[in-house]
Amino acid sequence: MHAAFLVRILAVVCLAFSIAPGTAFPFYADQPRSQIVPISERASIPDPLAHTRAAQRQRILARRNEARFEKRDPAQLVRVPDSNHPYKAPTKSDKRGPCPGLNTLANHGYLPRSGIVHAHDIVEGTAAGFNLGFDLATFLALFGILVDGDPLSGMLSIGGPTKGILGGGKAGLNNHGHFEGDASLTRSDEYFNGANYQFNANLFNKLKSFNDQYGNGSATVDSLAQYRYQRFQESKADNPYFSFVFPRYFFSYAETSLVLNSFPSAAKNTSGVSTDLSDLSSFFVNQTFPDEWYRKATPFGLLDIAVGATEILTRKFVLPGQNSGKSNYVPLGLNLSADTLTPQNLGCAVYSFVVQSLAPSLLQGLVDTLLGVVDALLGDLSETLEHTFDCAPQNIKDPAATAPTTATAKATATTASKA
């Protein structure tokens, strides 16, 4: 079963949460190893980019080795940007999307200013600009390429669509439903005006008011938990097609955690638990690094983000689910609550979804050469991370199994609107 190779990409999530070995997924347990290993050996059409990808892979592995062995002095703060990375406003042809951090990196040249990036660009650029840990940067880069990019070229647009090597449009991070989704902090739901990737000043002003009320003017765990819950309530009330299922459920809290981990200046806040208004505005509104800004002193990775996401979610807990008409939210049948939620079971719910639901849909109908490339991408990810963690797939219920389908939700919403 070709989908078995996607086990490795989301194993990273479970690996980071220190899950003990257990029974493998029944979905894969009966597949002989001879059927799931040699995908690349069965490639049947020419692959003109194999050499290019091999060179790019070496850059990623080189960065992994640097991250593994380099010594960092937490007292030695690094000012960003440096003189080699001045701000330049994007041109009309440059791609920019829903992530203010990636947009900022591209505007300063830490990522290609075109907004068309490779995995190694994200790994290197996020480390230089924000001090993202290698595991987190690699996971985000390779997962983004797999769901919103072009695996053959290894390229991804941080904004709108581009042409892929095999033809057809590659959606980029503007694509609704993967990284970008409903109930965003500063972007409208796609349902309202189709501008789900464009900055919404009204929503940002709401965010500021919550920071004033709950964070003494700064973005804190308390203020962001309250505002995240407010955005959930607004989408639930007004968007008949509101979808808050995996993986968006996880990424919505992960992106909120990223605000607290990546945007504070280390010179102002050594604890990294709040972001003041001027810095927040610089990233969200102007998409540029603030004046006299210093990146976090030590790298932060997958576990840091999951811990932060869990802390935010447990303060104003909601179950994943989907609307069937306005204000008719149907939660999934998951055994989760604020009392039982941990970074481990939150991460492994995402893992289970990707392995059991997303993996087969991604790989269905692909030609052998593309299957081989996907295998190589996943192999790079697991090779990079498995040296740190010890984990086996768990027999966890697929969180998408009880989710109302989009078609069902839309049909119900239509009926409700006519009633």
Q: How confident is the model at residue 366 (pLDDT cuts 50, 70, 90)?
A: low
Of all residues in the chain, what percent carry a pLDDT higher than 70? 62
Q: What is the pLDDT of residues 303-340, one digit of tens each?
A: 888 889 999 999 999 999 999 999 999 998 877 889 98
- Which one has a higher pLDDT value, 68 or 417? 68
Instruction: Report the predicted TM-score, pTM, of the whole model to 2 decimal places.
Output: 0.79
Closest CA to 376 of 45, 14, 119: 119
Does pLDDT of 392 surpass 50? Answer: no
pLDDT tens for each residue of 15-32 = 444 333 332 223 223 333
Confidence of residue 218 (pLDDT cuts 50, 70, 90): very high
147-178 pLDDT, tens digit each: 888 887 888 999 998 875 444 556 899 998 88
User: Using an 8 Å Cβ cutoff, are 387 and 300 in contact?
Assistant: no
Average pLDDT over residues 187-215: 94
> Secondary structure of the chain: what % helix, strand, coil (to 5)?
50, 5, 45
- Cα–Cα distances in angstroms (integers) from residue 355 to residues 22, 389, 395, in the given order: 16, 19, 11
Please spell the DSSP secondary structure of 20-39, one letter per residue: PP-PPPHHHHTS-HHHHS-T
**Using an 8 Å Cβ cutoff, are 267 and 294 in contact?**
yes
Pick the more confident residue, 283 or 47. Answer: 283
Cα distance between residue 342 and residue 350, in whole Å: 13
Cis omega (within 30 of 0) for bond into 161: no
CA nearest neighbour of 94 among 85, 86, 103 = 103
pLDDT at 360 over 60: yes
Asked whether the predicted pLDDT for residue 378 surpasses 90, the reply is: no
Residue 418: is its pLDDT beyond 60? Answer: no
Question: What's the confidence (pLDDT) of residue 149?
Answer: 87
pLDDT tens digits for range 237-274: 999 999 999 889 989 999 999 999 899 999 887 555 67
Q: How confident is the model at residue 376 (pLDDT cuts 50, 70, 90)?
A: low
Inform me whether the pLDDT recorded for 209 exceeds 50.
Answer: yes
CA atoms within 13 A on the CB side of 220: 15
The pair of structure tokens assigned to 273 is: 């638990």
Task: Give 62-106 pLDDT, tens digit per residue.
Answer: 665 565 545 555 567 899 999 999 999 999 999 999 999 999 999
Looking at residue 354, the DSSP 8-state letter turns out to be I
DSSP for residue 367: -
DSSP letter for 283, please. I
Token digits for 85? 């990375």
Nearest Cα to 107, choosing from 285, 312, 365?
Answer: 285
Q: Where do the domains of the chain lie, and which CATH numbers do they carry?
A: 2-418 (1.10.489.10)
